[in-house]
Chains A and B, each alone.
Chain A
Amino acid sequence: MSALLSVRDLSVDFTTYGQTHQVLHGVSLDVPAHAQIALVGESGSGKTVTMKAIMGLLRQPPAHIRSGQIFYDGRDLLTLADNERLALRGTAMSMVFQDPMSSLNPVFTIADQMGTILKYADRRLGRSRSARDRMARVHEVLAQVRMRDPERISASYPIMLSGGMRQRVLIAMALLSEPALLIADEPGTALDVTTQAQILRLLKDLVTQRGLALLMITHNLGVVRETSSYVYVMNKGRVVEQAETATLFANPQSDYTKSLIAAVPRLTGGTRYGTVTP
């Protein structure tokens, strides 16, 4: 199989205060190019650790990748040198952060932060462009995430923007260098339901329009249904079930998945766990 991203038998330990815990037990998953894949599981199941391992953001120590491979475009990322790894970050694969309130630097303008990301992404790709061209690109991407007034937004500090706008900025940051793979770790869970729904719709549209691959990490089955065609269910550091999204909802196999699905209706009706309808 030739997936864009392929995680094979990934096992990760954490050592804290001399105690070692294994948090990932042989996780495998595939994200084909242009596909929209979801990774779902309850809190603490290891979704973020998986994502960080893929992005090369795990700090080692305390983390330790005990075994496994992570193939991107046929190359095993775990065998790459640090700078080769860094070169892929933000350019080949980007991530959308969960909490728009805390993921933007409070003391720099949006233009400054986006411009700097672009500058170093360009440098890694061996490109160069003038400061003016960079700003043009920043405004272009801000318009793509449906910001009405890119010039004003980019001149703003994060504190001047609403949560929804900041989340859009974070998506724009991820898109700056046109990565092939977007990893979104529970985007918008810090926002109200309506705004979250808008953000998910925006993400889905962007991914479809630009033919990106999307790995959507969430604990919300409503989000899974809306944004993915194939889903991995994770529990306690293991992938316990994987299926086409429609199949999973129609015919869940594992008890864990059944309990997750059973939990959804009880929580719908106004809560943020409800089915997301944009």
Chain B
Amino acid sequence: MEFLSFLIKRVLWSVLVLVGLSMVIFVIARVVPGDPARMALGPRATPEQVATMQAELGLDQPILQQYALFIEGLTRGDLGKSLLTERPVNDDIRETFAATFELVLCTMILAMGFGVPLGMIAAYWKDKWPDTAVRFFAIFAAVTPSFFLALLLQILAGYVLHLLPTTGRLPNSMEFEASWTGLLLIDSLISGRLDVFGEALRHLLLPALALAAATMGQMARLTRASMIDVSRQDYIEAARAFGIPEWLRVTKYMLRPSFVPPLTIMGLEFASLIGGAFVVEMVFAWPGMAAYGIRTILQKDLNAVMGVVMVSGVFFVLVNLAIDVLVGFVDPRVRIRGRR
């Protein structure tokens, strides 16, 4: 019951954040750079052409009305038309979004799946060599820019060792329509194409690793600090006194209360993951939102930019909502008190 009201609060909060985001995007895109129509058409366009495009886009209407139109479109899931291609922004984004989503999702799984155990190992052998090794790795991962790591991995694992493919989501020779979720890993399993699954995984590995490294290091450091903190709590000593075996104390009694800080930070890290994904996608020729996003930014296709930012924002908010729910599940104090 208290979990339900906790959930409702979080959902309302997310909606509020999205409304705020839409305003910020709108102001930045419409008010700051001047006239989108003129920018899209370029310096050689005649005033008539500009006026036609302004009318078409509703730019001749009062600003509040424009915002209302924008919001109305958003609620219908309509992001408007690209100023350049005249194609609906939705169509362009839909194709690329799934690729980015799949990449970022795998990145999060990698970052958590390796970062947290590494942090546990470091905390358990605090000040011994495994701790030193993990801390060294964490710092190394944090200071290495993802584009550099991407290039390094591409050259090493791809060109030198020929271990893994270095571009795209699937080999060109492979025919597969990801028609359910757009995620190759899931759709290939649904349609029983294990060969596609394997190839998709092989293609994902390098970009996901390049993108995950920094966050993985961050997760390791946070988990380590958090575990060490929890290990000094009375309840861990009490568990020892009550005869709970050590492995269980570490993997259950210490891990779960330590899990909230890394999980929360994971949600926040997500924003920089999306940013990083743009770079990594360029390096690995990953057919995600990055190429599209960067092209639209360079060409000042403001409708498309707004679309990309809005979709990234929704993505961010949804992931954080999911993480909030997970945090509430992991730590009952959060859902009972509403905070830690």
- Which residues of B are found within 8 Å of A116, using beta-carbon distances? 244, 248
Chain B 233-249 interface mask (CB, 8 Å, partner A; 1/0): 11101111111110010
Judge whether A263 is part of the interface by a CB distance below 8 angstroms: no
CB-CB contacts below 8 Å: B282-340 with A: 330-333, 336-337
Query: In the complex, how many residues of chain B place their beta carbon closer than 8 angstroms to a beta carbon of chain A?
Result: 22
C-alpha spacing A187/B235, complex, angstroms: 15
Judge whether B3 is part of the interface by a CB distance below 8 angstroms: no
B230 to chain A, nearest CB (A): 9
C-alpha spacing A124/B333, complex, angstroms: 32
C-alpha spacing A55/B241, complex, angstroms: 7
- Which residues of B are found within 8 Å of A97, using beta-carbon distances? 234, 238, 241
Judge whether B253 is part of the interface by a CB distance below 8 angstroms: yes
Task: Report whether B242 and A106 are in contact in the complex, using a CB–CB cutoff of 8 Å.
Answer: no
Bin chain A's interface residue count: 20 to 34
C-alpha spacing A22/B258, complex, angstroms: 35
Chain A binding site: helix, strand, loop or mixed by DSSP? Answer: mixed
From the candidates A102, A103, A107, name the one contacting B332 in the complex (CB within 8 A): A107
Judge whether B256 is part of the interface by a CB distance below 8 angstroms: yes
CB-CB contacts below 8 Å: A228-245 with B: none
- Nearest CB in chain A to that of B234: its residue: A102
Task: Report whether A102 and B233 are in contact in the complex, using a CB–CB cutoff of 8 Å.
Answer: yes
A–B complex contacts, Cβ < 8 Å, 29 sampled: A55-B241, A57-B240, A89-B241, A89-B242, A90-B241, A94-B241, A94-B242, A97-B234, A102-B233, A103-B234, A104-B235, A104-B238, A105-B257, A106-B332, A106-B333, A107-B256, A107-B330, A108-B256, A116-B244, A117-B243, A117-B244, A120-B243, A121-B243, A157-B332, A157-B333, A159-B333, A159-B336, A159-B337, A160-B336
The 10 closest A-B pairs by CB, nearest first: A90-B243, A102-B234, A89-B243, A157-B332, A103-B238, A105-B235, A117-B242, A103-B234, A90-B242, A107-B256
Binding site for A on B (CB under 8 A): 233-235, 237-245, 248, 253, 256-257, 330-333, 336-337
